[in-house]
Amino acid sequence: MNPGAPYAAQRPGRTPGVPPVHLAVTGVAGGVGTTTVAAAVARVLAAAMPGQVGLLDHDGGTLFVRAGVTERDRQWAPPDLAPVRVQCLGSANNVLQRIPLGVPGLVPLVVAPWHEDGLRLAAGVVQRATTVEPMVLLDDVTRARDRQEPGIRDRPGLPYDRALAAPGPLRDAGAGRAAQQAVQQAVSEVLRRATATGGVPQHAVAQDGRGAAW
């Protein structure tokens, strides 16, 4: 997990007294929006805490591209010094089992398709997790709510949005209101869970997940 060239120009240092918050994002299968969710959440956090958020990606991943990290971009920090880290683990059923216990501020997040099979796969990942209980975010949840799928309507989810689905860096300005609100809600829940473990800066909680990127 190489932090990459964009971090070479800056090393801002870890916030004194703040243990790292570690958001670990995984998906139940490929193509469910794992990298998109990780990038969207990371961009909101980085906008609220410039220079304090670092990224970690799996081999062959595109998190840095999707998050819009560029050379000499001071909005981001090297992950070894960042108080808040967002890690994209890709898609694997047992990937959360490889996260060591006791990681400060650990918040596992599982991305799953909106349908019943996706929910079943997500439940399996949660059941096998040996860390803290993961939060589950459903992708393209609009269709589930339109169809009144039982057990899915009230779950947090990300609606389909062309600006998020397009390849390359996320186009924040083009995202619809529903997508923006869904990302904000996900960030707020991440911060709430991290706060429960004592791992998030209090000024970030006061932001309630809101950042300039959205």
72-99 residue pLDDT tens? 777 899 988 899 999 999 886 667 666 7
Beta carbons of 137 and 37 less than 8 angstroms apart: yes
Beta carbons of 118 and 112 less than 8 angstroms apart: yes
Residue 204 located in a structural domain: no
Q: Residue 23 forms beta bridges with which residues?
A: 86, 107
d(CA 111, CA 142) in angstroms, rounded, equals 15
Decide: residue 178, CB within 10 A, 0-12 exposed, 13-18 middle, 19+ buried: middle
pLDDT at 1: 38
Residue 205 located in a structural domain: no
Residue 17 located in a structural domain: yes
pLDDT at 203: 47
Residue 108 located in a structural domain: yes
| First-residue to last-residue Cα distance in the chain | 28
> What are the C-alpha distances in Å from 58 to residues 2, 26, 90?
9, 10, 6
pLDDT at 8: 37
What element of type H or E holds 45? helix 34-48
pLDDT at 80: 86
Regions of the chain short of the pLDDT cut 50: 1-13, 17, 144-146, 148, 202-214
Residue 203 located in a structural domain: no
Residue ranges making up the domain that contains 188: 5-198
Domains in the chain: how many in total? Answer: 1
Q: Does residue 106 sit in helix, strand or coil?
A: strand
Residue 210 located in a structural domain: no
Residue 213 located in a structural domain: no
pLDDT at 40: 95
Residue 155 located in a structural domain: yes
Give the CATH number, domain containing residue 25: 3.40.50.300
